[in-house]
Amino acid sequence: MTEQTLTPEEACKRISELTETINYHDYRYYVLDSPVISDAEYDALRRELKKLEEQFPQCVRPDSPNLRVGPPRPSGTGFPTVRHTVPMLSISDAWSDEEIRAWDQRVRKLLGLAQVEYDAEPKYDGLSCELRYENGLLVRGATRGDGHLGEDVTPNVRTIRSIPLRLRTDNPPPVVEIRGEVIMNRKDFEELNRQQAEAGQPLFANPRNAAAGSLRQLDPKVTASRRLHFYAWGLGATEGWDPKSQWNALHQFMEWGFKVDEHIRLCKDIDEALAYYREMTQVRRKLPFDIDGVVFKVNDLTLQRKLGNTAHAPRWAIAYKFSSEEVTTKVLDIIVQVGRTGVVTPVAILEPVQVGGVTVERATLHTAELVRKKDIRIGDRVIVRRAGEVIPEVVAPIVDLRTGQERIFHMPDRCPACGTKLIQDGAYWICPNASCPAQVQGRIVHLASRRAFDIQGLGEKAVAQLIEHGLVHDPADVFYLKEEDLVKLPGWGKKRAQNLIQAIESRKRISLTRFLYALSIRGVGYRVAELLAKHFGTLERLMQASEEEIAAVPGVGPAVAHNVYSFFHEERNRALIEKMRKAGVTVLPEEA
C-alpha cells in the first residue's frame, strides 16, 4: 500500500510508527553510539516520513524528527528570558585534597554523620542547560544565565540529537527538569574552526566557547550544523517523581534516553572520592571532550535538601578542579591597558604558546607591585599557566635563563590613552579622567555585555568605530543612536543599522541588578549588584542611601560602599543616569 492510497487514519498510524522508529535509531546513534541500521535504510525512513507529513500535516507528532530544526528568530530580537523554578547555582571550587577534606568534614558535621556516600562525576567544560519535560514531552530548554534567569533556547536545544524530544517511557512524570551540559567534542571543534578559517570567519578560542556560541545562534539551522552533545547531570523541579539519590536519578536519565558519562562512580567516603579524582586526571586526555575537574555530590537527595545552599552555592556539592597546565615562553614586552573603571594594568605580551589547547599571547600582570614582587622583566623566560584553565597567568620568571639583556618594567606616570597624570590608589594606578577614550570604550562595551543590557552588535570594534566618528561620547549616547547616522559608517549597511537600533530598543527595560552592573562602578560585579538591588529594591533608594547604609549590606565591604556612594554623588554620573532615562531606559524595581 503506497502513501497515496492511505486513509487519514492509516497515515496517522504510519507516521506515528515512523516517528518512533526514527527516534529510536537517533537514540542508538547519537546516545548509545551503536547504530543497528545502515545510513541508506535510515535515510529511506526519513524520506517516507517527510512525504507523509507533507501530505497529512494533521498527523505530525510534536516529537517528529522533522521538527528538530525550526525557522530562525528575527534579527535583533535576542532570546526570551526564563526564570528557573529551582535556582541553578554554581558549584564551589576546590584545588587541593585539604580543601576537599575540609568540605567533607563540614558536610559530616552539619549532618551529624561519621561517613557520607558521594556521587562522583566528570566536570564538563561546556554550557549548562536545563530541559523541561511535561508529560514526557520537551517543552523548554534554557541556559543557566545568572542562576535565576536564563535564556529560552528551546528551538536550538531541539536540534541536538542526543536530547530526546520525548522521554523514552510510557509513564513519564507530569513535570521533570533535567539539567546537563552542552558540549562540543575536540575533533568537531577543530573541524568547525577549519570551516571558519576557510570562510574567513573568526575562530573560536576553545570547544566551550564554540558550544556556547552555537547554542545561542538566532538560526537553529546553524546550531544543527554544529555537532553538539548533551550530558545530563542534575535535577531541577519535579512533579510525580521523587528519586532517592543522585545515583538513581542519573540512571533514570539513561533509561529515559539521555547521555550520562560512563565514568560516574558511587564512592562510600571521601577517600574513595579522592581516589576517583586521581584516576580522572589520567583519563581526562583520553576523553573526546574537555573536562576541567570532577564534581562530588552528597548522594542522598534527602541529605542534600537538609544541607541546603549558601547564597552562592549548594553545600552538598563541590568541584575539585584539575591543576593548571604550565608551559614556558618569553615576555616580549610589558604594556599597560586602561580598564573601564580607570584602573591601569600592566599586561605581558608573550611569545605565542599553547596552554591547555589554547594559544596564549597576553597575560595580565594585575599590578605594578606584583610585577616588582615576582621580578618579571621584559625579555624573561617565564612559566605561564591558565588559572582555573581559563585566565592566562604568569607564574614566575626562570631566573637561571637570564642573559643580562632583560629590562625592568617601570609603570608610566601618565595614561597611555589620554595623557592624564595617573594617581595611586593602594596597589592600583588610576586614570582619573572619566572622559578618557579607553575608559569610555570599555564602559560602553561593558554596558552592552550579556549580563548588563545584553545589546547584540556592540562589540569592541563597533564601539571603537562609533567613538572615532563622534556618534557616542558616553554610555548614554548608545540610546540616542539613529539609523541614518549608522548607515554612513564604513562597513555599515541598512540591515546592520536596523538590527542594532532594534536591539537597543528591545533592551531599554532592565532589572536593577543588571543596571547597576552596567554602570561600571569600581568593585561592583554582578554578585554585588544583585546584593544591592535586593537590599534597596529601587534605584532611587540606593541613590539616596548613606555610605554607612550601603556598607551594612551583607557581602558589601566598606571600600565598595565608598565607591558606590561616591559614584551616585558625582554630578556627571547622576546626569548620565538621567540622560539614559530621557532616552527611554526604564530601571525596574528588583521585585519585578
Name the β-bridge partners of 108: none
Matching residue, cell 609603570: 411
Q: β-strands 93-94, 317-321: how paired?
A: parallel
CA 380 to chain centre: 35
Enclosing H/E stretch for 120: strand 118-124
DSSP conformation class of 399: G
Q: Which of 44, 5, 3 is nearest to 21 (CA)?
A: 44
Q: How far is CA 255 from CA 177, 261, 297, 392, 494, in A?
A: 15, 13, 21, 41, 51
Provide φ and ψ at 295, rounded to 5°.
-120, 130
Strand residues in 18-66 grouped as ranges (E): none
Residue with grid cell 536540534, as numbered in its chain: 159
Amino acid letter, 106: R
CA distance 53 to 435: 61
List residues bridging with 181 in a β-sheet. Answer: 128, 231
Q: Grid coordinates representing 41? A: 535504510
| Alpha-carbon span 394 to 410, nearest angstrom | 17
What's the first-to-final CA gap in the chain, in angstroms? 59
Three-class DSSP category at 359: strand
Q: How far apart are CA 143 and CA 220, in angstroms?
A: 15
Identify residue 49 by its one-letter amino acid code.
L
Angle, vertex CA 274, rays to CA 269 and CA 278, nearest 5: 150
Pairwise CA distance, residues 21 & 27, whole Å:
10
Three cell numbers at 391? 585566565
268 is catalytic: no
Are 417 and 395 in contact by the 8 Å Cβ rule? The answer is no
Sign of the torsion angle spanned by Cα atoms 256, 261, 262, 263: negative
Tell me which of 13, 50, 123, 461 is the catalytic residue.
123
Q: Which residue has the cell 541598512?
A: 494
Cβ(387)–Cβ(393) under 8 Å?
Answer: yes
If one counts every other C-beta atom within 10 angstroms of the C-beta of residue 500, the result is 24
Query: How much of the chain is helix, strand and coil, in % rounded to 5?
Result: 40, 25, 35
Cell numbers linked to 39: 545510513
Backbone angles phi, psi at 406, to 5 degrees: -70, 150
DSSP sequence for 141-180: EEE-TTSSEEEB-HHHHTT-TTS-SB-S-SS--SEEEEEE
Tell me if residue 328 falls in helix, strand or coil: strand
Distance between CA atoms of residues 40 and 26, nearest Å: 14
> Which residues are marked as active site?
123
